């Protein structure tokens, strides 16, 4: 039996219309932002998880940029070391060819020293010169996360790379270059042996730079993989399915129109009942 004082049909139609309107707002927001979670209000647990993942993703990107800078320094150091080897090899060939001409050998030695000195001054990258001083460089290559007292604690993982001092002065590996003598056959032989030792040391330095370049490249590749996985994880948690949202929007718009018509019909019901008494 219909009830004039409580238009139940109108109330139900109005409720459905409000619900459809709320769903429309949600769906339109998904389409406009491309996300199903835009803040803690939408889903606090998912939002908190994605914020943490975003922080980790940004951390790996920063580390890889730092690794890239060190890689550049190592690459320059390796290239210069190889050039120094070429200079020393040329000097060695000159000694073999003109072992009896002291004046030419001294001039060749001094020219080689000057060229190497220029090399060691030119190779500063990002304020770092890896072939003109001793010591170690600490490089952050990743993160380690542990649970301590029910709390996540993240610490940096580092490696240490030794610099190489290839200078021709002080404690440099080529400090004896300026002392090569060519006064007689014995001095020439001794100088050639010393030169061979220096060439081997510079080759070792070049190999050291190359090995650490490859080592850092592997860390960077792994970090990039982790970073990409984190980005995919974030997307899977908060990104909206735009095709599904678009279809849902069209369906909701049709439902809204039908609900408006239903509400209009329900609102006419009391008038129809009143007409029976006329």
Long-range pairs, 87-92, Cβ under 8 A, ≥24 = 87/112, 87/115, 87/116, 87/119, 88/112, 88/116, 88/195, 88/198, 88/199, 88/202, 89/199, 91/195, 92/192, 92/195, 92/196, 92/199
Element (DSSP H or E) covering residue 246: helix 242-275
Q: Is the predicted pLDDT of residue 95 greater than 90, yes or no?
A: yes
Total length of the chain: 278
225 or 2, higher pLDDT: 225
Q: Which is nearest to 172 in space by CA: 125, 113, 127? A: 113
The string of pLDDT tens digits covering residues 124-165 is: 777 778 898 888 999 999 988 888 887 878 889 999 999 999
Distance CA 213, CA 221 (A): 12
> Quick one: pLDDT at residue 35?
67
Burial-class residue 191 by CB neighbours within 10 Å (0-12, 13-18, 19+).
buried
> Quick one: pLDDT at residue 273?
58
Q: Return the exposure string of 31-57: e unless at least 16 CB atoms fall within 10 Å of the residue's CB, then b.
A: eeeebbbeeeeebeeebebbeebeebb
Element (DSSP H or E) covering residue 9: helix 8-33
Q: Which is nearest to 71 in space by CA: 202, 204, 213? A: 213
Angle between helices 44-97 and 185-238 (to 10 degrees): 160
Mean pLDDT of the residues in the chain: 84
The string of pLDDT tens digits covering residues 203-259 is: 999 999 999 999 999 999 999 999 989 888 887 776 666 666 676 767 767 777 766
pTM of the model: 0.72
Q: Which two tokens stand for residue 190?
A: 């001794």
Q: Is the predicted pLDDT of residue 268 greater than 90, yes or no?
A: no
36 or 212, higher pLDDT: 212
Q: Which two tokens stand for residue 67?
A: 């690794």
CA atoms within 13 A on the CB side of 157: 13
């Amino acid at each position: 039996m219909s009830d004039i004082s409580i238009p139940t049909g109108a109330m139900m139609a109005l409720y459905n219309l409000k619900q459809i309107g709320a769903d429309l707002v949600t769906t339109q927001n998904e389409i406009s932002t491309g996300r199903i979670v835009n803040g803690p209000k939408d889903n606090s647990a998912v939002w908190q998880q994605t914020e943490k993942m975003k922080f980790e993703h940004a951390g790996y990107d920063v580390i890889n940029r730092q690794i890239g800078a060190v890689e550049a320094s190592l690459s320059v150091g390796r290239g210069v070391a190889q050039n120094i080897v070429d200079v020393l090899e040329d000097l060695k060939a000159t000694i073999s060819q003109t072992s009896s001409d002291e004046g030419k050998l001294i001039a060749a030695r001094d020219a080689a020293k000057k060229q190497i000195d220029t090399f060691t001054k030119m190779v500063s990258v990002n304020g770092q010169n890896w072939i003109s001083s001793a010591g170690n460089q600490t490089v952050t290559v990743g993160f380690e996360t542990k649970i301590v007292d029910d709390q996540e604690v993240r610490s940096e993982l580092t490696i240490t790379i030794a610099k190489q001092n290839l200078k021709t002065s002080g404690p440099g590996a080529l400090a004896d270059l300026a002392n090569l003598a060519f006064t007689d056959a014995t001095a020439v032989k001794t100088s050639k042996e010393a030169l061979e030792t220096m060439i081997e040391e510079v080759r070792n330095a070049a190999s050291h730079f190359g090995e650490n370049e490859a080592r850092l490249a592997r860390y960077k590749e792994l970090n990039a993989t982790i970073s990409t996985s984190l980005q995919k994880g974030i997307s899977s948690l908060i990104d909206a399915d735009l095709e599904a949202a678009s279809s849902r929007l069209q369906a909701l718009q049709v439902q809204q129109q039908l609900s408006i018509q239903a509400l209009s019909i329900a609102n006419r019901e009391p008038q129809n009942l009143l007409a029976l008494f006329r």
